[in-house]
Structure 1
């Protein structure tokens, strides 16, 4: 390939025939090594027969088939020795098998200490492989969920002391130190939390994962690391599942595709189409730092913490000065005119797709993204990215604070005609910044968001989005339904959002359709000709930075029929979602 790209006179195609390609290393595409298209032509990797009825099914996998299963110690369970394999996911016959878990995370009467927890229950002392156990803290902030490993369990007949791994627990105690004013949302995991102005999401874990002692639910698994270098997978089959016939795959690689370029030498004119990308993982949360989620796909990995005041000194949250991001299993940095068309991204253990760095004019069109531990797609910086006609659902399977799509500090990004559903946090998050300008969120269908966490929405924006309405963010023609958990805003402009036009959208069955008073306040935000099913708070006396005009409140009961009877509302409904065919490139000439 590299020997031919310099003299291209037509597109150069690589056809992959049907099958599963188990990679030993990521597919590395380098802008300085001859992997780009040249002379106005592209390098295209595609499934054989792409775009025709003869298109073959091609899976690019970062996994390993697990064999050698024998009956295990737990009744009905099976075990397989896997050497030094580290994995947080297991896929059985194409299905994600959850890790075995226990809820609540610690039985008995629990007290938090500086190093972990004390309980009056002796049960944790019998848990197998205690250092492999991970505690999960949902609603540690309303929009966050943290994970920390256990370091040691000791005790006697009267009590048990559980010590958590460091530095994760010390960091967590520093990070999740928030003071609130007034009532807060009631967490389903912490039913009394709204009664106390001090939010303590670390009061006790919501669940514990990954011990053979928890292996009671069919279809779940455990990775036992108690013997270094001789790890053992345990799996409890579903009824009727025959282990002799099952295909069981664990991820080995953390990257499937790595595309690298620089501003001077970008990776450019490369297309991937008609392929399926599966079975890549991410194991950093297993380490001593845990996974301390902060916001969206960002987490705290150490370093300076800053206090952000929320209400004139009476409330604050603590945030990392330099947060890290959940990586993507397919990632591009410094990419220009890279296109992902009509691919499938599924059974992935981090984020699915990431574009970062000084890229431009990239396209993610017509893809199906599902069953992903983190976000479907993250665009950080860059210019001219086009995200269209994608079906995105059941993402954030493991890291519940992950939005489906996140656009951060980017310019001229278009997110249009996508369908997004079944997301544990927000559907689309747009984070402004110094370089942000001209982002368009247009005619998407977004439903069943906020299925786990709170304080988000179907579409969520924060920060300055430009310098004027002309180069700010436009949110137009989207349909947002079923924003599920308490304390959410279907269409959420938050934390100093500025230069935003919200026009001709539909919001139905959210806790609250929009919010007008936030800290820092909204500046130059206009809500125009929208439809929703509730009267927004403060709509009669909006703050000075907000303009409302032509918005309609339709009755909750009969909302759909009332919307359909309104010509403008019916037009919005008809246009939202994947209503247009994907614009796939021409097949070109095969090699």
Structure 2
């Protein structure tokens, strides 16, 4: 057996004897694993590591097996040993919750030296949790009629999250109880009901983006955003909104050049839907659903309605207090380096800025406007007088675990879960870091952030974010609070490798790379930057874009390199089932030197790869250089060469089963990491569905919604829609919802106004009800059918044809619910689903018809269908056949 050097081994304390003996046995049994090459030397030549021990109730600084120290004690001991390391230093953590009173702050003194590493790792079989929460106890039922329970909160507690037995509770929220009219400082309400609510300055208005699903109106600053602003005060019917959030949300100056854009160029810039919020958040008066909670800061009291099966007398209730758990902030000349975290769970941290007057004023990917002149100065640079530079340098969401100016930092087999900001931020100056075999879930915002957007052209190499590798991780069911966040968000960076990860069930985009491309909207070049040689390969991405719109599985904007060789490369990725006007791969504004090859893209996508954009770089002409080659997809674009933009040798398929097995099997987690797919953190009923909308027909309602993307450890088995008044209901399976995009409730009374809520079910039980839809009134419908689809075209493949069309502007008596494709010799194909009922005449759609005979000409007819009937058909002819081999 390999020897291990233990520090300061002393006789055991009696109360620790058995646990320490067991730990020692486990440690010795696992000794060969401890000497594996974590960071540098081979096993044959590695010197024996120095082992320190820490436990949740540790003390002192000896850090011996028989007398472990605390986390801070271990840090002090590491610093005393790290100046002249002759081997790795390992801090072994016993199981349990390490309740931090302050973040673990690392700097250059905590680094490995002389080619060795400092390793913070779980003991074999241990599950240490670094927590920034306080436990809430002393619960009693304070309102039996509503089953509301309460408990004393620590004096001065501020938090935006609460967890019960490892499951996130929902802040009390609901629909607006009044009608609002916007003013320069907020709103005038049609009644004073909200003036009587407690703690009005704690209330938040949420402006949800997303798809204009039938009667649903967007209220975000773009369909990819979900901003929120706190209320400042309420007096009678006057609601004054908090500053600077209100001005930053409503006063973004608009260009007068006809572009329809604000000076930030991202969008028209101000709140949609007349600036009327989609719902109200964080009010005691809205506490009415199981799983909801409210913190009354003025009374130091927390209120909660238990979910079925929860007993607050012995439940573990955690209120996050710290805003960061671990930080590693070096400098350009003294970086934090050679530190590894292995087998550790990072949990229970919050983020308080959205609760201040700043609110959460989102631009994109959880970047926000802040400060009293955020709306007319921040990041506007050359585009407006007084703008701060560089362009697009808006405020980044912080990470609950955060590093910057660092190198060779490793996170392996860790879990980032139950977090209130971004999970992990590897910011400016992060170099040669690795995130491997880890889980990211139940995170309020972005999962993993790499780089920043404040230094597009750094002056020194130390400022670059370079060489970060993200390998074999599972990121899922996020973001859960700031829905415009991204699972993996990369700003300006170079030599990034994102490979063999699985990303599923994301509210918005799964992976986003690049920044600063929006100036091409006004025919100005994208922001020059140092990004180069970033690769996204062999990832499996499923069910992205489950809540907001206009993103994708992999989204890119801005200049990605200096040539096709040094630009961004997307290869071997399998991307399925993006919703809400989502792209599988999205080449957006300024996307330059972008290559997408050998990817598989199928299932409910509005677009496979984005579109060409004009290249406005000095001396350039035509579209931005890009190569789209050898992919397997629904879209079926013809081969084409347009200047430096090449589309060649792609294949039309109807399902993943028609793609090469080698690509499909290679995508996602490699075999030795697939065990992390079973990792779950808390089990409960699902979160409620979102974006519920409805339209009326004769005695019937058609109700659609976005599927639940947070199932809390157990897949959704069904959804139930309930009508109010009357309680009529209908239940549908997730598979049927995916096929149709809606369900119907019949037997309603014409002339009566109805709203609808949706609940989700899993094996544990039923979710809380969704927010209600807007009211609709069934009436005897006319016989108007939709107009005919337009811009119909067809792209043939091997035994397949991809049929493209644009929805008609005239929907008839009721909205379109699908399309029907017919041709001689084939059974009718009914094209239904979320994206087809979502789309308007401004959206191109397509689908694939398979099982065709190569060499046979088919004339397809396509009709638009509504609740009344079908339109006149449009026709197109195509002859399927194998795709040509791409030209080298």
Which TM-score tier does this pair reach, normalised by the shorter chain? 0.7 to 0.9
Which residue does the alignment assign to 1:338? 409
- In the alignment, the residues of structure 1 paired with residue 190 and residue 658 of structure 2 have an alpha-carbon distance, to the nearest angstrom, of 57
Distance 1:176 1:207, change over 3 A: farther
- Which is helix-richer, 1 or 2? 2
Within 1, Cα distance between the matches of 2:191 and 2:635?
A: 47
**Aligned partners of 1:353, 1:109: CA distance in 2, in Å?**
40
Q: Counterpart in 2 of 1:384?
A: 467
Counterpart of 1:91? 163
Structure 2 residue 651 is matched with structure 1 residue 552: yes
Cross-structure match for 1:249: 318
Residues 184-212 of structure 1 show CA distances to partners (whole Å, capped at 9, x for unaligned) of 9xxxxxxxxxxx99972553101111111
- Match of residue 151, structure 2, among 63, 80, 86: 80
Deviations 1:496-516 (A, max 9, x none): 110111111111121221221
Q: Give the equivalent residue in structure 2 for 1:315.
A: none
Q: Structure 1: where are the runs of 5+ without partners?
A: 50-54, 185-195, 310-318, 564-568, 584-591
1:572 aligns with 2:663: yes
2:369 and 2:378 in contact (8 A); partners too: no
User: Are 1:117 and 2:216 an aligned pair?
Assistant: no
Q: Deviations over 1:42-75 (max 9, x none)?
A: 11010011xxxxx111111011101122322473
Aligned in 2, Cα 1:96/1:233: closer, same or farther, shift over 3 Å?
same
Match of 1:296 among 346, 356, 365: 365
Partners of 2:379 and 2:131 lie apart in 1 by 42
In structure 2, how many angstroms separate the alpha carbons of the residues matched to 1:543 and 1:449?
Answer: 30
CA distance in structure 2 between the partners assigned to 1:241 and 1:386 by the alignment? 41
Partner of 2:101: 24
Q: 1:45 and 1:96 mapped to 2: Cα distance?
A: 27
| Greater alpha carbon shift after TM alignment, 161-170 vs 512-521 | 512-521
Select the residue among 217, 221, 226 that pairs with 2:293: 221
The match for 1:562 among 658, 675, 695 is 658
**2:117–2:339 contact (8 Å) kept in structure 1:** yes
Q: Specify which of 92, 112, 115 is matched with residue 40 of structure 1.
A: 115
Match of 2:561 among 461, 466, 471: 466
Q: 1:177 to 1:402 in 2, by over 3 A?
A: farther
- In the other structure, the counterpart of 2:229 is 148
Q: Note the 1:125-524 alignment, pairs <5 A.
A: 125-139=195-209, 140=220, 141-155=222-236, 160-175=237-252, 200-201=272-273, 203-225=275-297, 227=298, 230-302=299-371, 303=373, 305=376, 321-380=392-451, 381-431=464-514, 434-485=529-580, 487-509=581-603, 510-518=605-613, 522-524=623-625
* Aligned mates of 1:197, 1:324 — CA distance in 2: 16
**What is the number of residues matched between the two proteins?**
537
User: d(CA) in 2 for partners of 1:202 and 1:29?
Assistant: 47
SS of match in other structure, 1:571:
helix
Q: Which one has a bigger Cα radius of gyration?
A: 2
Q: Residue 13 of structure 1: CA displacement?
A: 0.6
User: Out of 76, 85, 99, which is 1:8 matched to?
Assistant: 85
Change in 2 beyond 3 A, CA 1:181/1:406: same
SS of 2:290 mapped into structure 1: coil
Match of 1:78, SS state, is strand
Cα offset, 1:307, TM superposition: 11
Is the 8 Å Cα contact of residues 207 and 271 (structure 2) preserved in structure 1? no
Tell me which of 532, 535, 542 is aligned to 2:633.
Answer: 532
CA distance in 2, matches of 1:279, 1:307: 31
Structure 1 residue 86, shift from structure 2 partner: 0.5
Q: Aligned-pair distance for 1:9?
A: 1.7
Write out per-residue CA displacement over residues 468-526 of structure 1, whole angstroms, 9 at most, x where no aligned residue: 011111100101111111x2221100111101111111111212212214477751111
Answer with 278-287 or 299-308: which moved more: 299-308
Question: Whole-Å Cα distance in 1 between the matches of residues 474 and 642 of structure 2?
Answer: 37
CA contact (8 A) 1:451 1:483 kept: yes
TM-superposition CA deviations, 1:198-247 (whole Å, max 9, x none):
9725531011111111000011101123x2xx432111111232110111
CA distance in 1, matches of 2:244, 2:321: 26
Partner of 1:313: none
Alignment partner of 2:128 out of 37, 41, 58:
58
Shift in CA distance, 519/81, structure 1 to aligned 2, threshold 3 Å: farther
What is the RMSD of the two structures over their aligned residues, measured on CA atoms? 2.7
1:27–1:176 Cα change, 3 Å: farther
Normalization by structure 2: what TM-score?
0.58
Higher RCO, 1 vs 2 (CA within 8 Å, ≥6 residues apart) = 1
Check the 8 A contact 2:295/2:303 in 1, yes or no: yes
Quote how far apart the aligned CAs of 1:127 are. Answer: 3.0
In 1, the alpha carbon distance for the partners of 2:151 and 2:270 equals: 46
SS of residue matched to 2:146: coil
Provide the rounded CA distance (Å) in 1 between the counterparts of 2:487 and 2:540. Answer: 12
Residue 70 (structure 1) aligned to one of 130, 135, 140: 140
Task: Tell me the distance in 2 between the aligned counterparts of 1:454 and 1:259.
Answer: 35
Deviation at 1:102, TM superposition (A): 0.5
The Cα of 1:260 is off from its aligned counterpart by 1.7
Query: Helix, strand or coil: the match of 1:239?
Result: coil
More strand per residue: 1
- Which shifted more, 66-75 or 266-275? 66-75
Of the structure 1 ranges 146-155 and 8-17, higher mean CA displacement relative to structure 2 is found in 146-155
